[in-house]
Amino acid sequence: MKIDVFLTAEEVKQKEISNSNVIVIDVLRATSVMVTAIAHGVSKIYPYESIEEVREASLTSSCCILCGERKGLKIEGFDYGNSPLEYQTEKIKNREMFMTTTNGTRALSNIKGKNNKIWIASFLNISTVLSFLEKEEKDCIIVCAGTENHFSLDDALCAGMIIEKLSNYEKTDIALALEQIAKTSINVKESLKNTKHYRYLKSIGLEKDLEFCCHLNTYPLLLEYKRETNSIFAVTK
Ligand code: MLT
């Protein structure tokens, strides 16, 4: 069994993945939002690459909320932005969430190949994802969404913290590199505070989101993404 890592949403597009567990990470903030929204009662999340797709697809739902960001900010006419804190509300209970973000939902759309199971990870549900992977007997590909096609340390650190604990997988060099990064990190927030996307989100006033996304294990949830239905939902294992 092997574990490998793709470092950006763009890299995923170039490659075919098959017979694997695929773990998608966009810590700041798409996958943190997904976990938080489902923890607070959203029934399903439908991720899309473009704003137009969200608008069109949401017409089929009578209980939809339109969610997402461009440049970190809420999209005009949408109900919610991409701040996990916005989703800590009763108002989203049993609603269907139609979502588009710059990197996270694009990474999901870019996954190609057969016989894969796709899962959503963030610091908020990292131990649940880890316990699941420890019991699996399939190859694993971790997809870091990255930021606008560049390597992003926030996703890489989360990936490294997963890889570090998985002793039963053969690790590629990139997996070993991220494991080393995780080993040198004492505190998530401290490790990320000087990174580009962290500083950008801070500069637009989103410091509380950053604090929140850096917490470990706030929600013990396993979320699966099914390509056939383009939907994300909670799974009990
Ligand atoms: C993304 O998917 O690009 C991020 O979630 C962007 C953001 O932090 O809002």
pLDDT tens-digit readout, 15-31? 999 999 999 999 999 99
Tell me, using a 6 A CB cutoff, whether residue 152 lines ligand 1.
no
| Predicted pLDDT at 102 | 96
Residue 80 has φ and ψ, to the nearest 5°, of -135, 155
pLDDT band at 105 (very low <50, low <70, confident <90, very high): very high
Tell me whether strands 96-100 and 44-48 are parallel, antiparallel or unpaired.
Answer: parallel
Residue ranges of domains in the chain: 2-234
Is the per-residue pLDDT at 237 higher than 70?
Answer: no
Distance 167 CA to ligand 1 centre (A): 31
| Predicted pLDDT at 222 | 98
Better-scored residue on pLDDT, 125 or 237: 125
Is the per-residue pLDDT at 14 higher than 80?
Answer: yes
- Domain 2-234 falls in which CATH fold? putative 2-phosphosulfolactate phosphatase (3.90.1560)
Q: Are 140 and 23 in contact (CB under 8 A)?
A: yes
Tell me, using a 6 A CB cutoff, whether residue 31 lines ligand 1.
no
Tokens of residue 20, six digits: 């694997």
pLDDT band at 236 (very low <50, low <70, confident <90, very high): confident
Tokens of residue 213, six digits: 């996304």
Is the per-residue pLDDT at 193 higher than 70?
Answer: yes
| Predicted pLDDT at 125 | 98
Atom of ligand 1 nearest to the CA of 81: 9
Tell me, using a 6 A CB cutoff, whether residue 160 lines ligand 1.
no
| Predicted pLDDT at 48 | 98
DSSP 8-state code for residue 91: G
Reduced 3-state DSSP string for 165-229: HCCCCEECHHHHHHHHHHHHCCCHHHHHCCCHHHHHHHHCCCHHHHHHHCCCCCCCCEEEEECCC
| Predicted pLDDT at 211 | 98
Among 28, 214, 232, which is best to mutate for testing ligand 1, by the most ligand atoms less than 8 A from CB?
28
> Could you tell me which residues come within 8 angstroms of residue 134 by beta carbon, excluding any fewer than 6 positions away?
165, 166, 168
Among 101, 122, 153, 198, which is best to mutate for testing ligand 1, by the most ligand atoms less than 8 A from CB?
101
pLDDT tens-digit readout, 143-177? 999 999 999 999 999 999 999 999 999 999 999 99
| Predicted pLDDT at 218 | 98
Length of the chain measured in residues: 237
